[in-house]
Amino acid sequence: MPATRDAIRAYYDKNTQLFLAFNRASKAENIHRSLWLDGIRTREEALNASNELIRAEIEAAAPRRAHIADLGCGVGASLFYLLPRLQDPQPAVGLTLSPLQAQLAKQFARQAHLAGQALFVEGDFTLAPLAGGRFDAVYSIEAVVHAPQPQNYFHEASRLLRKGGKLILIDDYLVNRPLSRQETLWRNAYIQGWHVPGVITTEQANAFAAASSLRLTQNRNLTPHLRLRNLPNALAQTLLLFGRRVPISHPILPSMLGSMALQQCLSMNVIEYRLLVFEKQTAGDTP
């Protein structure tokens, strides 16, 4: 199935409960990757390391009363982590394409006693149903890759931000070099399995951002802090071929194959997991 908006929505509606079951920390409904940064000792800390990186950037943009939005919020785990740790934040917004994720996020917000602080909305982050120019920071974790036209994401994120506000991204980026046949195989398997047509290079991301008055201020490679589970290539290729022939229609199977392909891509330096931070300029500002 092509990675259309409807296909991506269906992918998350059908898989989210399984993602939560496989990747659940004791105090976080987190479906993002673990980062084993210096000083981190527990899996729960590793799951929230990306949230800590985002918190530091939010606090630099607005030490108090920060107005933030999570574009591609999943079930809200990042906001549930951030809001109690920010200084007197304004009510935050989480946007997800999946009706199921929006429903679960609202349920988890009530359980965390944050229903009045986090508003969850079902919608497309390239056409966000939100007023522009209001946010101190907007961020996305492992979400922009799902955009069939990622340039539209950057345009919309810029529209939402006030001048001087920050766009914070943690995501996968293609390396900027020719790929071998084998590397191309794994890249394509990752894109198809995870419905991620928006995997681009950091150079492309920077160009899209600059076209939307966003200036790159940080570009950090987080890949060394992942604990990869890549397989020997011959075994992985055999599993990929077998998995594609298994007569199972549930989307968890292509997702699992996509996960395996991503591990191969990361280990072969085809994909890098990076933190990118941009600052909102105005049309007259020098990049």
Round to the nearest angstrom and report the end-to-end CA distance of the chain: 39
Would you place residue 285 in the very low, low, confident or very high pLDDT band (cuts 50, 70, 90)? low
Q: Residue 7: its pLDDT value, please? A: 80
Distance, in Å, from the CA atom of 90 to the CA atom of 88, rounded to the nearest integer, reads: 7
Predicted confidence (pLDDT) at residue 88 exceeds the cutoff of 70: yes
Rounded-to-integer distance, Cα 205 and Cα 276, Å = 9
Which CATH homologous superfamily contains domain 5-174+195-226+271-280?
A: Vaccinia Virus protein VP39 (3.40.50.150)
- Percent of the chain past pLDDT 90, that is, above it, reads 81
Q: Is the pLDDT of residue 274 over 50?
A: yes
Q: Is the pLDDT of residue 124 over 80?
A: yes
263 Cβ partners below 8 Å, 6+ apart? Answer: 228, 229, 230, 231
Distance of CA 84 to the CA centre of its chain: 21
C-alpha span between 173 and 223 (Å, rounded): 11
Residue 234: is it exposed, middle or buried by C-beta count within 10 angstroms (0-12/13-18/19+)?
A: exposed
What pLDDT does residue 12 have?
A: 81
For residue 239, give the nearest of 196, 283, 284, 185 by alpha carbon: 185
- Report the C-alpha gap between 220 and 218 in whole angstroms: 6
Looking at the predicted structure, is the pLDDT value of residue 150 above 80?
Answer: yes
Nearest to 73 by CA among 10, 153, 140: 140
pLDDT given at position 199? 98
| pLDDT 10s digits, 197-213 | 999 999 999 999 999 99
> Tell me, what's the pLDDT at 244?
87
How confident is the model over 151-165, as a mean pLDDT?
A: 98
pLDDT at 246 exceeding the cut of 90: no
Predicted confidence (pLDDT) at residue 28 exceeds the cutoff of 50: no
pLDDT average, residue stretch 235-263: 87
Q: What is the pLDDT of residue 283?
A: 58
Higher pLDDT, 8 or 214: 214
Q: pTM to 2 decimals?
A: 0.92
Distance CA 255, CA 251 (A): 6
pLDDT at 29: 56
Res 13: pLDDT: 77
* Model confidence at 61: pLDDT above 80: yes
Q: Work out the pLDDT band at 247, boundaries 50, 70, 90.
A: confident
Alpha-carbon separation of residue 167 from 127, 174, 188, 196, 212 (angstroms): 16, 20, 28, 20, 12
pLDDT at 1 over 70: no
**Average pLDDT value for the chain:** 92
